[in-house]
Structure 1
Amino acid sequence: MALLEIACFTPESAIRAYDAGADRIELCDDREAGGTTPSMETLRAVKEQVTVPVYVMIRARGGNFVYTEAEFGRMLDDVDRFKASAEGFVFGVLGDGNDVDIERTTQLVARASPLPCTFHRAFDEAQDQLQALEDVMGCGCKAILTSGGAPNAAAGAVSLAKLVEQAEGRIQIIVGGGVRSENAAELAEVTKAKAYHSSAILEGCADVDMDEVRQLKALLCQPQVHAAASPHPAQQARYIAKMGSSASYMAAVSAGPNTPKDEMERRLR
């Protein structure tokens, strides 16, 4: 059985996700910015109604993941503020070359201890993802949320499979970025990951779709899509060929590596 984490931007969304069967909530603010640190009031409202773990996003602002001293100081302070109420944290800090900022990530993990930390999709900006995996693990993070360096998980499925294989259970790879019920089963079959992340917000909607959460959970509970063996190269090729003809894949690929992050976010919802 795979873990299903739902990104939520309001208390109402978190409660809907919980009622529909989500295993964990990633609590954020500002969906348009791709997620920033929520308020303490939001966390308290969620904790009154939700009993599954709630991981709090620690992100000073939208945009890139290279932070000023003042911004990073606020992130450290936010960890302190939320530590008594959260079950874990989600953040990502990069250096000027988009490599993992090992020093600052280690500081955040130490400040959060003993709560677990996930390095979010800032990871996808790293040029050498296999090295980035080792760097993040060395900082003490327990998980990495990633689309395999691609605009979304469907486009990065083969790379995700390689990351899962390299992780070898030493750190959890959470598949995220456009994960929906229409692609979840194939993503699970190709990547062999044990954790998945979705906003469960369907096109044209503004809130978590409870039926989508239920469908995701049902699909990811299927034992046959989590066989231990790595996907065969032919299976990977078939997946690429199939996804290459899909609208979501083509939208992601057409975005290109230089597409502004806000436009990328719009394409992936």
Structure 2
Amino acid sequence: MAKLEIASFNLNSAKIAQEFGADRVELCAGMEVGGTTPSDEDVLAARKLLTIQLNVMIRPRGGDFVYTDEEFTAMKRDILRIKDMGIDGFVFGILNADNTVNESKNRELVELALPFPCTFHRAFDEVFDFRKALEDVISCGFTTILTSGCEPNVDLGLRNLVELVKLSNDRIVIMPGGGLRSSNVAHLLDKTKATYFHSSAITDGSDTAVGDEVTKLRSQL
């Protein structure tokens, strides 16, 4: 059975994710920019609230994924601080100016995060050569890639997602996400054979997961 991660931009969303059957919460702030590092207060509160796994996004701002030295230093500080808060993993991704994977900086963060696993987030969807990027991300020590298949959403990226799962050859988890809903998850599962799926489960225009949508997603995996 495949597993379900719910991107949660507030504590209520995290609570709903758990209550309605998610396997893991990805806690973020900044929904309007696709997710940023949440506050310490929210991380600690989420840890008290949840018995399921809790991954935390490390992203100092919205926009591109090319970071200054100051931003990179802030990311390192955030990881060192948050890893003592009882979380289960981190989510981040750094690119070079040419949209290739910045291996040295990502590797440094992955090593800093040990023993916690790390997910390379949808910065992956900005790369030009996803086959090379896949190998680069694996070499950095990530355990998961969150991706829509280098297209705006999982439906458009389906073909690439199928290829990524095959190319990964169980060396890393390819987690489809980006426009994933109960209306398409069964088709994505059938075609990709992925083992983990990612959704915000937001269907009502708010910033909070909808319990019924989480249930429908869970029931099809």
TM range (shorter): over 0.9
Indicate whether 1:30 and 2:56 are aligned: no
- Secondary structure of the 1:48 match is helix
User: How many Å apart are 1:203 and its aligned residue?
Assistant: 4.0
Counterpart of 2:136 in structure 1 is: 135
Partner deviation per Cα, 1:117-152 (whole Å, 9 max, x = no partner): 000000011111011000000000001000110000
- Per the normalisation by structure 1, the TM-score is 0.81
Corresponding position of 2:84? 84
CA deviation after TM superposition for structure 1 residue 204, in Å? 2.4
Letter in 2 for 1:109: V
Who is 1:104 aligned against? Answer: 105
Q: Which amino acid is 2:215 matched to?
A: R
Which residues of structure 1 form unaligned runs of 5+? Answer: 221-269
Once residues 206 and 159 of structure 1 are traced to their aligned partners in structure 2, the CA distance between those partners, rounded to angstroms, is 29
> 1:110-189 residue pairs with structure 2 within 5 A?
110-189=111-190
**Deviation digits for residues 26-59 of structure 1 (CA, Å, limit 9, x no counterpart):** 0000100110000110011111111111000000
- The Cα RMSD (Å) is 0.7
Where structure 2 has 5 or more consecutive residues not aligned to the other structure, the ranges are: none
User: CA offset at residue 205 of structure 1?
Assistant: 2.9
Alignment of 1:30-69 (within 5 A): 30-69=30-69
The residue identity in structure 2 corresponding to 1:42 is: D
Moved over 3 A (4+): none
Amino acid at match of 1:170: R
Q: How many Å separate the matches in 2 of 1:161 and 1:93? A: 24
Tell me the alpha carbon deviations over residues 223-259 of structure 1, each in whole angstroms, 9 at most, x when there is no partner: xxxxxxxxxxxxxxxxxxxxxxxxxxxxxxxxxxxxx
Whole-Å separation in 2 of the counterparts to 1:125 and 1:45: 32
What is the alpha-carbon distance in structure 1 between the residues aligned to residue 184 and residue 48 of structure 2? 33
TM-score by length of 2: 0.98
Tell me the residue number matched to 1:259: none
**Higher CA-based Rg:** 1
Counterpart in 1 of 2:216?
215
Structure that is richer in helix per residue: 1
**Quick one: percent identity of the two aligned structures?**
50
How far apart, in 2, do the equivalents of 1:91 and 1:14 lie?
A: 19
**Once the 2 structures are TM-superposed, how far is the Cα of residue 90 of structure 1 from its aligned partner?**
0.1
Structure 1 residue 84: deviation in Å?
Answer: 1.5
1:190 is the counterpart of 2:201: no
Separation (CA, whole Å) in 1 of partners of 2:97 and 2:207: 34
Question: What corresponds to 2:203 in structure 1?
Answer: 202
Higher relative contact order structure (alpha carbons within 8 Å, sequence separation ≥ 6) = 2
2:9–2:207: 8 Å Cα contact kept in structure 1? no
1:12 shift after superposition: 1.1
- Give the Cα separation in 1 of the matches to 2:184 and 2:206: 19
> Does the 8 Å CA contact 2:66/2:94 hold for their aligned counterparts?
yes
The one-letter code of the counterpart of 2:150 is: G
